[in-house]
Chain A
Amino acid sequence: MATFLPQFQSIKSSFAHIVLSVEDVSDLWPTIKKGFEERLPFKRASLNNKTRNPVLVDELPAEFILTTDARLRSRFPQEQSLFWFREPYATIVLVTCEDLDEFKNILKPRLKLIVQNDDREWFIVYVSKAPAHNDQATKMAKKVFAKLEVDFSSKKRERCCKLDIHGPDPNFWDDLEGKIMECIRNTLDRRILFYEEEIRKLSEQRFMPVWNFCNFFILKGNYSGDKPCDCFWDTSESLAFMFEVAHLHEDALREYDELELCYLETGKQRDFGGMEKGDDQATLLDSGKKALAQIVQDDSFREFEFRQYLFSCQAKLLFKLKRPFEVASRGYSFIISFSGALALHESMLPFCMREVWVITACLALIGATASNYEDGLAAPDVEKEFYRVQGELHTLCHTKFMRLGHLVGYGSDIERSPVNRNDMLGNVDKRKVFCQENLSQSVDHHKEFYIFLHSAITLVFPCSASLSMLPWPKPAVWPPLPPDASSEVLAKEKMILQESPRLKHFGIQRKPLPLEPSVLLREANRRRASLSAGNMSDLFDGRPSCPAWQTELLNNTRGCILLLLISCVWDMHAYNCIKMENFLDSSQTSVSDSSGTPSAVQRVSNVSMSRTLSSPGNFDGSIDRPMRLAEIFVAAEHALRNTISDAELWKSLSSVEEFEKKYLDLSKGAANNYHRSWWKRHGVVLDGEIAAVHHKHENYDLAANLYEKVCALYAGEGWENLLAEVLPNLAECQKILSDQAGYLSSCVKLLSLDKGLFLPKERQAFQSEVVRLAHSEMEHPVPLDVSSLITFSSNQGPPLELCDGDPGTLTVALWSGFPDDITLESLSVMLTATNSNDEGAKAIKSSEAIVLMPGRNNITVSLPPQKPGSYVLGALTGQIGQLRFRSHSFSKGGPADTDDFMSFEKPTRPVLKVARPRSLVDLAAAVSSALLMNETQWVGIIVKPINYSLKGAVLHIDTGPGLSIAEKHEIEIEKHEFGANNTDHSDNPPDNHSPVSADVKQLSLEDGKINLPDWTSNITSVLWIPLKAISHGLAEGTPAGTVSQRQSIVDGLRTIALRLDFGVSHNQTFEKTVAVHFTDPFYVTTRVADKCSDGTLLLQVILQSQVKASLTVSDAWLDLQDGFAHTGKGDGRPVSKFFPLIVSSKSRAGILFSICVVDTPAKDGEELDPISVLNIRYTISGDRNLGAHSPVTKELTGPENETDPLTFRSALVLQRPVLDPCFAVGFLPLPSNGLRVGQLVTMKWRVERLKDSGKDVDSDDVDEVLYEVNVNSENWMVAGRKRGYTSLSTKQGSIIVISILCLPLVAGYVRPPQLGLPDVDKANISCNPPGPHLVCVLPPAFSSSYCVPAA
């Protein structure tokens, strides 16, 4: 079957439609050909697919071919079944006949002959030539056609149709198309059945030795046919191709899928292929590139070509199905899997065939899919996926391209990044790099030893490209250096020498990522034929003198082997000795850890030193000189030139510039596509690659833009290790672009990264940059956000609590992320009130420059008075040089965690609480009882701080009128003891209150101010101020029994205005006016105790103590007014001799005086003394805590018993008895039912003339007597005249009654109205019976009408 392959492929390439054969019986075709071909291609063809489901094909191309055509006639029957897809799908028999006889005799037998082959689908088109106007001819034609139908059509199937040349029936063409479709459908169904049967048969034999994939393939891939078939292998592809030709693409695709599966399972050839010229260019989208016959071998196909061919067929169908995204995703998978297959055969393929193929495949796929794809073609998620795959393809291509670049020595031109870096097993490879680099530099003149070490290192550190994204090519033999390439080698060497690791900004030095040149050097030399033979164990084994201990070491720990190597190097070269010494120093520790005894290590080291390997003779002569790196580059370049047939690709590798251009294109393509997919991170990372190229070419603007994107991604998600790679580059670009703000921000970010990511000196460089810029003149100074670098928190413990209006001192803990001390010119802490939103944050500024040390710093700022509320730390602002900075980052009490990038946690704990205004202090009088009037008394002021310190408080004292401070006395202050009032008793002697006691301090008054001592700042204290209340009036005594006319309390009240200035900065003021009550010691009342018959009156003077103190009366005398005289000796002293008389607090005492009434002759020009004065000498014994006490002056003079007695004087008015009464006024009794508010009552007085009037009276003997009713209008309402004249007979004994209607207004004991006779001297009026002093007035009667009885 394989012999048909060329034919098959040629058919396939030239055949794209189905064939309809025309049996032109009556030479009609030239006439009607045009009409027929106008119908092509068929629209809306309905076909059945493989599963017999109808499929509507929009456009079905076809071709009419005469049966006499050579293309149909020259086929061998054998070919027919194989290439059945190209056989006609329908046979159209064209006939015409105008005579029945002719039809019967000639045409009918001929037609029978033609249609007798049942295999073919056929139908007859009867062409009528009869003109429309010729009825006869028309009739005849109808007859013939009717006869034709009878003979050839059946009930099941209509096989005839009629075409009228001169007037075609409009339905004819539809009829014709219908018949053609029916034929095609039937033929297709039949052929599908046939192929299926064939395939089934072949499938059954699949695992038998005689089975032939070629046959199977052609059969499966080719069936229906209008167009050349796509098939290679026999049956299988025929079917697929038939579907394709019939535009049943889905079915064709399915067939190809099955075919691929089948091939991968059973059809693979041992010979992989790919060795021919041009094979490096992928043909996965170009099925016709290579003839099938070329790739067939032993009845099957070579994998290399055939898999690509199959994929190209699938891709073609998918493009036809408008599914380019599927081509892309299938293509990517295909490339990955095919790349794997190439890797398996890499040793046989040309050098770097795999890489080149992948690059060309990716590029082809990218180009084809992108050109076939239109935006909006697919659903959004499919579209995203499409772009992702595009990105993946770009990346894969980019990766492989990089690999080629590295091989020819362009790798150093591309900045190495984690994206393009080879090996992720950093530590292991770094060790290798270390060893190799040092060794290769120093010992290459001992080449055999170098080789030995090289192998040893390889053994110790097994080549662990386990995670390598870009494994080095693994040809069987590394390409050798061409003989005439010495100039190229020189050029490359020059290039290598010129290249120096680009110094990163800030002096960041990094070793090149462990990719090349060292690893390539090793890999290439390893793969050279002579070097690939052995590894270290082989070397050891090959040495007859290999001691057992070495083998043991070899088998035991690699660490020991390392020591062995080190010792060898030691032996070799002094320079290396020194270098390795350091190496050993650090490794010894680690090895000794594992072995447990350092001496053991030393021993091993010593032993190995004694057994030098400086001349391992086995190696001499058997090993070529290792290639140098430049040689490897040149060799690879030459080999690649042989491999790469694509001129474009080779051009990209021909120079560094072209290489970079291509590299950039691929990176951009990948990044752009990733950005349009879900894989944003991939895109951004590739942006970083592009930025690196721009950076290198000094396109700093572009580079900075891209770097910013990358940094934003890494910083946003907290990938610091990755950020640390890119950020210095961004900073450099920003610096060059004079983007000071950006540069500063980058420096700050660099500083805030994890400390382990940079060396201390690098971090210092960052800081010095910040400081340098901060102190320079910035063009556009911008606030710098240092949230990640300087964090702050309140100190541990409760928040600072302040009272309203108080300033304070706030301590804030700052964590500095700077590596060195840094000076802040100013620093402000923002306080934000938590309880009110309207108020913005307030800045609290620190007054002086602050030097921040690395780590924690405690900063103290003074706090002006704040409004009441709770405050949290808002932000930190400050200045470094000219640079304003700002930090929002609140630290929870530890150093800033830089990975806390996403949470600017608002500090919830308040740092300051300012209390609402409240009483901070209270001032009150120490005693409530009265003090002595007119004497200097201690007035106690209790100063009570209420949870507030009174440190430095000043009390201003301003005494009111009638009160003065005895300034010559000190002011005392003492601790106030609660309950002292209860414990002390007024009768206690005041000894325990000596003026200078242990806890009493003396203060002096200056300008009315007293500075309170500090010890009183937090305790309640009493301030004793010597004050003297002045009252110029004389106390008045009153007769006993009369309503008290006591001195009003108000008269004794004095006020002291106090103002206390206190608080941290005397910002608080408390003002209070304290009332102090002063009084006389006694209230004096008198009464006549007895009237003696001799006219002597016993006058009882009652002394009522008014103070809470014990009064001792030592003497008392009475200076009588005129009209009275003392009886007896007349010295005015009382008769009794029981002085001293002690009057306790609130008690009474009485003194009797014996007086008599005397007539006092009126002295000319002198007024009679109307007042008697009672003089009392007394001493007082009281406690100042309770009230009245000894006057201050007295206390100062000495002990109590030596004090001078005080003198109290009280005026007394003595009334002479009524000796000559003319009128008697008697108060008539009130009604017995009592008085009630609101109830009228009649007050009656009886006025009786006791004596005849001495006046000359009128004949009617009537005298007018003036009367007056004195009444308190608040208590009584009087109806009638309160004052008036009444008539009274002048005769003795005449009586009148004066009545007045009164209305009591208030309830209680009230003074009733009094009747007076103003015209009559009081001495002539006797009251008999006297009126009551008080009457009882009841409350008004309850009104029951509105009362509801209680339930």
Chain B
Amino acid sequence: MIVCVAVVGHQNNPLYIQSFTKGDDSLLRISILNVEGCSYHSLKRHHIVHCSLDVVDERVNNPKKSGLIINETFLGLLNPTENYKVYGYLTNTKVKFILVTTDLEVRDVDARVFFGRFHTAYVDAVSNPFHIPGKKITSRKFAERVSTIVKSFGLSSGG
């Protein structure tokens, strides 16, 4: 299950972070009661995505060691820990896409397909003339599209 996707700008600034958790949306609203803790729910994924940038930097700075092929945008598995996996993708404009999943078995091809679609959605979103480059992506359409892509994760290749 994908739990979080993120777009990080070329200066490592977060452009878009969206989490996907199981649960009914209507139920999620109950958390409004807990106003004081509202901002906390995103902290952890911010932390994970932020720290995974270290790995992206490392990969980019050590292409030989990491076996990165020149012009390869898919960075592969960035940060396997005991409970989740982080995958990365780097565009030519140094924009990073981060995928956090709890699936223990993720096929590279699925991740590649996901990032390909995500990239396309991102390109469409930033092509919006009202979008200011370098600013957070606030397009609702983009969010919906990302949700669709996340839902179809792993389905494309028959997985």
Interface residues of A (CB under 8 A from B): 336, 339-340, 343, 381, 385, 388, 418-419, 421, 423-428, 430-431, 433-434, 461-462, 464-469, 471, 509-511, 513-514, 557-559, 562, 582-583, 586-587, 589-591, 593-594, 678-682, 685, 714, 717-719, 721-722, 724-725, 756-759, 892, 897, 899-903
Contact = CB atoms under 8 A, between A and B. Distances in A.
Contact of B54 (A471, A682, A757): A682
Given A431-B31, A593-B26, A471 B83 contact: yes
B12 interface: yes
B44 A426 contact: yes
B37 interface: yes
27 contacts: A339-B82, A340-B82, A385-B65, A388-B58, A424-B45, A426-B40, A426-B44, A433-B34, A434-B33, A467-B102, A514-B40, A557-B24, A582-B33, A586-B32, A679-B51, A681-B51, A682-B51, A718-B9, A718-B11, A718-B12, A719-B14, A721-B39, A722-B46, A725-B43, A758-B39, A897-B135, A899-B13
A965 B9 CA distance: 78
A1249 to B, nearest CB: 111
Given A424-B45, A583-B30, A902 B35 contact: no
B102 A428 contact: no
Interface string B141-155: 000000000000000
Contact of A381 (B14, B35, B62): B62
Nearest to A508: B36
B10 to A, nearest CB: 10
Contact of B55 (A421, A679, A757, A901): A679
A418 B44 contact: yes
B47 A756 contact: no
Contacts of B65: 381, 385
B51 A685 contact: yes
A385 B41 CA distance: 32
A513 B4 CA distance: 19
B148 to A, nearest CB: 20
A717 B30 contact: no
Contacts of B25: 590
Contacts of A903: 134
A466 B28 CA distance: 17
Nearest to B133: A903
B6 to A, nearest CB: 11
B68 to A, nearest CB: 13
Which 3 pairs across A and B sit closest by C-beta, in order of nearness? A426-B41, A424-B44, A590-B26
Given A582-B33, A586-B33, A722 B44 contact: no
B41 A427 contact: yes
A424 B19 CA distance: 10
Contacts of B45: 424
Nearest to B54: A679
Contacts of B50: 681, 685, 714, 717, 719, 722
B130 to A, nearest CB: 11
A469 B83 contact: yes
Contacts of A388: 58
A431 B22 CA distance: 13
B12 A558 contact: no
A719 B41 contact: no
A467 B84 contact: yes
Contacts of A559: 24, 26-27
Given A434-B34, A511-B37, A902-B11, A466 B135 contact: no
Contacts of B37: 426, 430, 510-511, 514
Contact of B83 (A468, A558, A724, A899): A468
Contacts of A462: 22
A423 B134 CA distance: 30
A678 B34 contact: no
B127 interface: no
A1125 B61 CA distance: 124
B48 A424 contact: yes
A427 B23 contact: yes
B108 interface: no
Nearest to A333: B80
Contacts of A510: 36-37, 40
Contact of A902 (B43, B46, B134): B134
Contact of A431 (B27, B61, B82): B27
Nearest to A358: B82
Contacts of B33: 434, 582-583, 586
Of A426, A510, A759, A901, which is in contact with the most chain B CB atoms at under 10 Å from its CB? A426
Contacts of B13: 717-719, 899, 901-902
B42 interface: yes
B140 to A, nearest CB: 17
B100 interface: yes
B51 A428 contact: no
Given A426-B37, A466-B3, A583-B30, A719 B46 contact: yes
B31 A466 contact: no
A892 B132 CA distance: 11
A718 to B, nearest CB: 4
B115 to A, nearest CB: 20
Contact of B46 (A418, A467, A511, A583): A418
A903 B135 CA distance: 11
Contacts of B30: 431, 434, 562, 583, 586-587, 590
B82 A427 contact: no
A756 B38 CA distance: 9
Nearest to A512: B37
Nearest to B49: A719
A467 B41 contact: no
A681 B54 contact: yes
Nearest to A433: B34
A319 B25 CA distance: 55
A98 to B, nearest CB: 69
B57 interface: yes
A717 B11 contact: yes
Contacts of A423: 44
A575 to B, nearest CB: 16
B66 to A, nearest CB: 10
Nearest to B46: A721
Given A427-B23, A681-B54, A466 B83 contact: yes
Contacts of A557: 24
B61 A678 contact: yes
A496 B41 CA distance: 25
Instruction: Name the residue in A424, A509, A682 with the highest tally of chain B Cβ atoms < 10 Å from its Cβ.
Output: A424
Contacts of B83: 465-469, 471
B121 interface: no
A594 B26 contact: yes
Contacts of B35: 759
Contacts of B84: 466-467
B43 A427 contact: no
A428 B20 CA distance: 11
A558 B134 contact: no
Contacts of B113: none
Given A511-B37, A681-B51, A719-B50, A587 B11 contact: no
Contacts of B132: 892, 897
A381 B64 CA distance: 10
A425 B21 contact: yes
A587 B41 contact: no
Given A678-B58, A892-B132, 20 more contacts: A381-B62, A385-B65, A418-B43, A424-B3, A424-B43, A426-B37, A427-B28, A428-B23, A464-B22, A467-B84, A509-B36, A510-B36, A557-B24, A558-B24, A590-B26, A685-B47, A756-B39, A757-B39, A759-B35, A759-B36
Nearest to B15: A899
B43 A721 contact: yes
Nearest to A431: B30
Given A340-B82, A381-B65, A678-B54, A421 B44 contact: yes
A487 B100 CA distance: 46
B53 interface: yes
B39 A724 contact: yes
A421 B41 contact: no
